[in-house]
Amino acid sequence: MALLPVDEALERLLDGAVTGEAETVAIAEAAGRVLAEDVRALRTQPPFDASAMDGYAVRAADAETVPATLDIIGQAPAGKAFASGIGPGQAVRIFTGAPLPAGADAVVIQENARRLDDGRVEVLEPISPRRNVRCRGLDFSAGDLLLEKGRLLDAGAVSLAAAANHARLPVVRRPVLAIIATGDELLPPGSEPGPDQIIASNGYGVAAIARSVGAEILDLGIVPDSRPAISARIHHAIEQKADVIVTLGGASVGDHDLTHEALVAEGMKLDFWKIAMRPGKPLMFGRRDATRFLGLPGNPVASLVCSHLFLKPLLSRLGGRPFRQDVRTAVLGRPMPANDLRQDYVRAVLRDEDDGSLTAFPFETQDSSMLKTFAESNGLVIREPFAPAAEAGEPCTVLRLR
């Protein structure tokens, strides 16, 4: 099978991927979710003319000429309106958020007033109508469209929905990602590995990338190199209605890579398994009905790079999230050699310069087993197939990771 270009692989992987069904959740659980329907206001905010400051509710006409002395006839704390209205020459002590008494049309802030010992207040600065008043419906009115379908619910959005009296919100169901690590050599963190064993690490990074775009993780653990065992775990993921199944390792078709056989046995139709990229050439993709499968390479860095390039866009689309890779232009901070037929994703440190430009410093050693350099990288330099050698100072394209 010929090596598939990265862009074509992504296009085939995303083909037919649609936003999942809606579900309703409590507003306390809605942050980070995607709205499945428009949200309209169930009430008017504020529901009455309210004081925007601590001070005195007055008739502006009584304070056109200052100093003006007014009789204090009561007070209005937040949550408890003054029972009656005010007339000429009268004022009500009022606090932020309290309803404006009938007859009042302005609030004198307490810094511009002096309370007298005889139960009166002296206004020291002239006031105009509606000054320091939040008019009814200033924020929104009942029936107003507040949030549109597809909106990612951040702090401002959930606060607005709560203020509009929504206790529950319709959101897109989170896509479920099942993760299966394969390999006799793998042990979980905290184990004492034998001389031929290593600690499994890929799944934790893949899960973190998936959670960053709202996916729910179904961790199915480590499976030995046995076709029946791998098939059983894949079958379990399908039974659990995973939207995407990821296997870690066994993505190439070789004597000891049994994932391919297990997938076919479970009814998966494989689309491709060789990509013209580095790291990440042995990336496998297939489908069974609505379930999608990604076989990620066993090399840790390759699995993480492929997750950024393929898994994030797929899960974003399934979860109804808009997604765009953070691709930018930078300047090389050190030279790079000519490239071959594969598209390279080179770990690098991206430095923001004072003039707003970006400089990329690729690591000299790019072995796909080296997680330390990946953790230290905040970007990848993208090298097109057959790109010529480049010197420091030349422009380059980078994918910003963080």
**6-20+174-318 maps to which CATH number?**
3.40.980.10
Out of 3.40.50.10420, 3.40.50.2300, 3.40.50.1460, 2.40.340.10, the CATH code matching 327-400 is 2.40.340.10
Neighbours of 333 (CB within 10 A): 17
Task: Identify the pLDDT of residue 261.
Answer: 81
Range of lowest pLDDT (97-101, 189-193, 256-260, 352-356): 256-260
Report CA Rg, the chain: 31
Virtual torsion, Cα 392, 396, 399, 402, nearest 10 deg: 40
Could you give the residue range(s) of every CATH 2.170.190.11 domain in the chain?
50-134
In this prediction, residues 248-260 reach a mean pLDDT of: 66
Return residue ranges of the chain for CATH 2.40.340.10: 327-400
C-alpha to C-alpha distances, 277 to 189, 308, 310, 325, 346, nearest whole angstrom: 30, 13, 12, 17, 11
C-alpha separations of 359 from 305, 325, 332, 395 in Å: 21, 18, 6, 9
- Residue whose C-alpha is closest to residue 260's, from 174, 339, 312, 182: 182
Chain segment 191-214, per-residue pLDDT in tens:
998 898 999 999 999 999 999 999
The secondary element (H helix, E strand) that includes residue 334 is: none
Phi, psi (degrees; rounded to nearest 5) at 299: -65, 130
Predicted structure pTM score: 0.86
Res 255: pLDDT: 42
| pLDDT band at residue 251 using 50, 70 and 90 as cut-offs | low
What pLDDT is stored for residue 205 in this prediction? 96
The pLDDT of residue 254 is above 60: no
Structure tokens at 379: 């970007």
Quick one: tokens of 376? 């230290």
Task: Report the pLDDT value the prediction gives residue 256, as an integer from 0 to 100.
Answer: 45
- Looking at CATH, the fold of the domain delimited by 50-134 is given as Molybdopterin biosynthesis moeA protein; domain 3 (2.170.190)
When pLDDT is averaged across residues 4-26 and rounded to a whole number, the result is: 95
pLDDT at 1: 60
Report residue 260's pLDDT band, with 50, 70 and 90 as the boundaries.
confident
CB count, 10 Å around CB of 128?
A: 11
Contact 164, 42 (CB under 8 A): yes
Q: What is the pLDDT of residues 104-155, one digit of tens each?
A: 999 999 999 999 999 999 999 999 999 999 999 999 999 999 999 999 999 9
Could you tell me which CATH class the domain 26-43+142-171 is placed in? alpha beta
Q: What percent of the chain has pLDDT over 90?
A: 84
Calpha distance 361→380 (Å, rounded): 10
